[in-house]
Amino acid sequence: MTTTTYPQVLTRRMTEHPADSHTLARYEATGGYQQARAAMGMTREQLVETVKESGLIGRGGAGFSAGMKWSFLAPPRPSYLVVNGDESEPGTFKDRQLLERDPHQMIEGIIIASVANEVHEAFIYIRGEYPKPARRVQHAIDEAYAAGYLGDGIFGSDYQLDVTVHLGGGAYICGEETALINSLEGRRGEPRLKPPYFPAAKGLYMLPTIVNNVETVSNLPHILEMGADAYKALGHDKDTGTFLFSVSGHVKRPGNYELPHGITWRELIFDIAGGMLDGRELKAWIPGGASAPWFVPEEHLDMPITKDDCGQAGSMLGSGAVIVMDDSTCMVKAAERVVRFFAHESCGQCTPCREGTTWMQQILARIEEGHGRAVDLDLLLDVSDNISPGLAWPPKMTTICPLGPSAVSPVTSLAKYFREEVEAHVTEGRCPLG
């Protein structure tokens, strides 16, 4: 995160104090926990209203207003807060940095969200493959308990708040909020039907539950500190605040970059991420995590990066994971690798997803190996259509959750931009890129 021209909010402390940004001492020396303290003196309505006004969009990828999500919380108490740190979508590694490098920022956000929603028990679900971030978070929680910021009577009040880290077991699907709740209840991580199982009404243990992403929660202290208007002004139009982009693939400087929306893809890929490796040409990129339909330079390079622009172009900004591919990349292989991920991570509840993703992976693999048939691309689209009828964007679903339709994105992208390359695999009986 080395950008100098844009203001840093979430990543500022870790940039200015790399050696100890994760410690309570540094956090407090740089103004930490002042906003949680202030929140103790505010009403729930004031807090929810401030977050609504800030326009904070959830950073988990679905693009929903965090304040609205809070206001749906049903009245029966107790209620729970669950922080989603199950970050597992290929290309995404921003939450790992927030967890590892500034855990107190998230914990302060948890306190604010809990007070705003009258929550006394919060869980942080961290993916099992993140033991180091989990250890850093646990150390920070221990520090916060010792300082009287968590536990009984936080900040000298009579408010009680307990926070527990729960490690996942290696299943991407648990990033889906109802699957995460099942997992936290000690069940298989299978998504629940919505309705009726909207977490705000019937969540953890069938009680009202808020599920917010790590980055979403980490924004809360800053929104209180600078106020809703100043926070909005950091962003671009409807996309308020800053946004963490995870850039990976064939660029010179992969990494997480905190940026405002509204810059162009050209600026992100060529200026901020340093441009293409080894002087090669840009061929395509995945704009918002493995489940997003792909973009190509001829059509999208000078497009501003906003939620709406991405949506209108038939894709999404999702969780901000940008995967860049150069002209040496076999698009069939890239698609196969993405589809393989979803096939592997399908929970198996819904037949179109369980069978369809595996079938698509097998078809793509045989095309890549040079054993494809002329009808295979149409077959891929047919299978896709059974998972996501009409192949529209945003996708329609024949499944409980969006995992299956996510596997359709690489296939429709191939058909739209790289049909000739697929056909060359079939007619030449091998990968034309060698």
Partner 1 sequence: MSWSPETVARAERIMQRYPERRSAVMPLLYLSMLEDGYLTDDGMREVAEWTGLTPVQVKSVASFYGMFKLRYTGKYLVSVCTSISCMLRGADDVMAAVEDEAGVPHGETDDDGVIAVEHVECIGACGGAPAVQVNYELIEGITPEQARDLVRWLREEQPDKIVADDLQERFGGTRSFDWAIRETEGAVGPFPAFGPYGTVAEEDRS
Question: Distance between CA atoms of 328 and 326, rounded to whole angstroms?
Answer: 6
Q: Report the nearest approach of partner 1 to the CB of residue 296 (Å).
A: 16
Pairing mode, strands 80-85 and 121-126:
parallel
The nearer residue to partner 1, 131 or 429, going by C-beta atoms, is 131
Pairing mode, strands 243-249 and 321-326:
parallel
Q: Report the nearest approach of partner 1 to the CB of residue 95 (Å).
A: 8
Q: What are the phi and psi torsion angles at 211 (to 5°)?
A: -115, 115
Q: Report the nearest approach of partner 1 to the CB of residue 131 (Å).
A: 4
Q: Report the nearest approach of partner 1 to the CB of residue 93 (Å).
A: 4
Question: Distance between CA atoms of 365 and 426, rounded to whole angstroms?
Answer: 12
The nearer residue to partner 1, 89 or 385, going by C-beta atoms, is 89
Q: Report the nearest approach of partner 1 to the CB of residue 248 (Å).
A: 4
The nearer residue to partner 1, 92 or 219, going by C-beta atoms, is 92
The nearer residue to partner 1, 105 or 256, going by C-beta atoms, is 256
The nearer residue to partner 1, 96 or 425, going by C-beta atoms, is 96
267-to-3, 154, 254, 272, 304 alpha-carbon distances in Å: 12, 45, 14, 6, 9
291 with 410: CB under 8 angstroms? no
In eight-state DSSP terms, residue 247 is: E
Cis ω on the peptide bond leading into residue 195 (within 30° of 0)?
Answer: yes
Q: What are the phi and psi torsion angles at 326 (to 5°)?
A: -95, 180
* Cβ-proximal residues to 62 (8 Å cutoff; 6+ apart), any chain: none
Q: Report the nearest approach of partner 1 to the CB of residue 238 (Å).
A: 28
The nearer residue to partner 1, 258 or 309, going by C-beta atoms, is 258
Binding site for partner 1 (CB under 8 A): 1, 14, 18-22, 87-93, 95-97, 100-101, 121, 127-132, 134-135, 138, 162, 164-172, 183-189, 205, 246-250, 254-256, 286, 290, 321, 323, 325, 329, 333-334, 337-338, 341, 344-345, 347
Cis ω on the peptide bond leading into residue 394 (within 30° of 0)?
Answer: yes
Question: Distance between CA atoms of 319 and 316, rounded to whole angstroms?
Answer: 9
245-to-86, 87, 336 alpha-carbon distances in Å: 17, 14, 24
Q: Report the nearest approach of partner 1 to the CB of residue 308 (Å).
A: 26
The nearer residue to partner 1, 39 or 174, going by C-beta atoms, is 174
